[in-house]
Structures are given as structure tokens and as C-alpha cells.
Amino acid sequence: MKVPFLDLRAPYLELEEELDAAYRRVMGSGWYVLGREVEAFEEEFAAYCEAEHCVGVANGLDALHLILRACGIGEGDEVIVPSNTYIATWLAVSYAGATPVPVEPDEGTYNLDPELIEAAITPRTRAVIAVHLYGQPAEMDAINEVAGRHGLKVIEDAAQAHGARYKGRRAGSLGDAAGFSFYPGKNLGAFGDGGAVVTDDAELADRVRVLRNYGSRVKYHNEVKGFNSRLDELQAALLRVKLAKLDEWNARRQTVAARYLEALGEESDLTLPSVPGWAEPVWHLFVVRLPEREALQRHLADMGIGTLVHYPVPPHLSEAYAGEGWLPEDFPVAEALAGDVLSLPMGPHLEPEAAELVAGIVVGSAAAAR
């Protein structure tokens, strides 16, 4: 049996009739940018996230970048970011002209450690970006408490956490604003790029709407130096179809994760995901840690099983930030994770029996390595 890391064709096959109808509706409308489909999706996704406002943008990176711009964060400012995240979190800060200040993750959850934030705050700090990594929410009450004492904005990077809950509340409603990505592989994925800003702050949402559209509310009347970052009508229409299935698909992911946790629970060489009692993750990724990751990854590939590494190079050691002076061992937790994490197949169309097969091969490979 071949097991792909993620089956991107299966969602279309499941929803083919509805998706094709949405496509035809948009193509027949003659209106393809910032129209009724985007407006309807923004209303529906805001309601789903239990927030007041949603602004569709071109991608998840732009969502974070435009939030920072809308908050007035720029040159000379600092923004606290996790040392362990996809580089887009850092790039959003850099695009705004500010400086990313890395803080190490909690070693149990791999999310930003609230206890380390205060030591990183300086008079130039303006915000904290909390990433809900792998689909599990960060410890938001503690992060908000520290930020509140220092007058900092709290921004959720919820690119991997569509539908996740923290103490019963949805990701996207846990800070001042949240940035979502609808990259095809996400829990709520478009058929191309897409993103959104979600917030309860009407003024912030209004500023993002202006910034995404060349700095303009009225065509050819430009209030500020804005950007071209608009979720298009076709992607919005397709996302509306998939949004109606999101909770069901997330539940399927939870079933797969439960099978993995049960089947892998006795394997001493693996570190399995740790889920706090207050977290309801949506299992965007199922990530294990183990020494000799490469050997297991090769063995799984030989057996027809797809895996990925999220992420092999921490941002501070990437070429993109080589000029910032970061050195190996500056952020040892992030570096350790980069060296031994492995993402197993995960998705709403992965059969639980396939997950058990994968787990069996992982266990057998680990035993053979001993």
C-alpha cells in the first residue's frame, strides 16, 4: 500500500459537484475580484472563527504583514516571534520594516513559551506573534497576560489552526488579530494561494481592507501607500464549499491522530505530540521526534510512505537571515527540533487503517534500529 503524505486530489473528488457549481457560478458572473463571493466568505469565516471581522487577502504571509502594518508597526520596532516556526512568521515582521526577536518554544508543545517572553521585551517591542504550530493552539492566556502588562499587541499566526480551540474558544479569536493561510495543504485549503485576517477590531479590519487594495477604498483615490493583496472571487467561492466540511474533516484528522497515538504510544524511541488539557488541536500535522530521523524517513519512503520535515532549518540559521548575526546554538531548542522532527502522513482522507499501517512500520523500524 502506498500512503501519500497528503492527498490533495481527494477533497475535490469528495466535493466535485459542489465545487464545480461554485466554479460555474463565479465564471458566469463576470466579476472576479472583491465581489459577492469574497464578501460572503468573509462573513462566513468570521462567524466560524467566532470573531467580528474577516478580510480576505492573497496569502497567509500577507495576512500577518498587513496586520502589522495596520497596527502601525514598522521601522525601529521589534516583534517577538517563535524561534521554532515556518519562516513566513519572521518574514512578515521584516516586510513591515520591524525586527523579529526570537523566543524559544516550550519543549512539550513546541509552541512559544510564555515564561520566556518577558526577558525578550525591550522599549522597542510592539507585538508578540503566537504561532499555533501544527494545528495546536499556543498558551494564549499566559501570552496575553504578559503582553497586556507591557502594552503589546498579540497576533495569532493561525495558518495551521483552522478550527482549533483553546479553552473552548476558536483560534482567530484569541488575540488582537489573526492571520490565516489557505494554501492548498492547509486544513481549509484553496486551489491556489489565499489568506485572511480575522479580528474583533473594526478599525484594524478597516485599515487592512484599505491596505490590501492599493491603499484605496474608492477606486483611484489612494489614502495610503498600500499593496495588491486580494483574495479572488473564485478561491473565495471554492473555500465556501470546503468551509462547510471543515469540522467534519478536522474530526477525521482527530481520528487518525488517535490511531497514531495509540499505536505508537509504547515506542520509547519516539517523542509523540503532547496535548495540554485545554487544547483542542486540529492536527494539521502529526509530528514525532526521534534520533536518526533520516534512516526512518528513508525506510518509510522505500515502503511507499510519504513524510516531510517541518522544518529542517530554523529561521535564525537560514540564509535569509544570515546578515543578522545569529549563530548555531543561539536557540538550541529550535535547533534540536529541526534536527529530529518528522511529520507522518496526515489528512482527512487518510484512512485510519493506513495510519495503523504507517505506525506499524515506524515501530518495526525503530525496533530493528535497536
User: Residue 84: pLDDT above 60?
Assistant: yes
Residues 82-104, mean pLDDT to the nearest whole number: 98
Tens-digit pLDDT profile for residues 140-173: 999 999 999 999 999 999 999 999 999 999 999 9
Tens-digit pLDDT profile for residues 181-223: 999 999 999 999 999 999 999 999 999 999 999 999 999 999 9
**60-70 helix and 202-212 helix, angle to the nearest 10 degrees:** 120
Geometric angle at alpha carbon 178, from 84 and 186, rounded to 5°: 65
pLDDT of residue 267: 79
Tens-digit pLDDT profile for residues 272-286: 999 999 999 999 999
For residues 362 and 163, give the distance between their C-alpha atoms in angstroms, rounded to a whole number. Answer: 29
- The phi-psi region of residue 33 (left if phi > 0; otherwise alpha if psi is between -120 and 50; otherwise beta) is beta
Tens-digit pLDDT profile for residues 236-260: 999 999 999 999 999 999 999 999 9
For residues 359 and 344, give the distance between their C-alpha atoms in angstroms, rounded to a whole number. Answer: 9
Geometric angle at alpha carbon 364, from 358 and 366, rounded to 5°: 105
Cα-based torsion angle of the residue sequence 240, 241, 245, 247 in order, rounded to the nearest 10 degrees: 0
Residues 307-324, mean pLDDT to the nearest whole number: 97
- The phi-psi region of residue 87 (left if phi > 0; otherwise alpha if psi is between -120 and 50; otherwise beta) is alpha
0.95 cut: is pTM over it?
Answer: yes
For residues 133 and 98, give the distance between their C-alpha atoms in angstroms, rounded to a whole number. Answer: 22
Query: Which residues, in sequence order, are CB contacts of 290 under 8 Å at separation 6+?
Result: 269, 270, 271, 296, 340, 342, 366
pLDDT confidence of 370, banded at 50, 70, 90? low
pLDDT of residue 368: 65
The enclosing H or E element of 353 equals helix 352-369
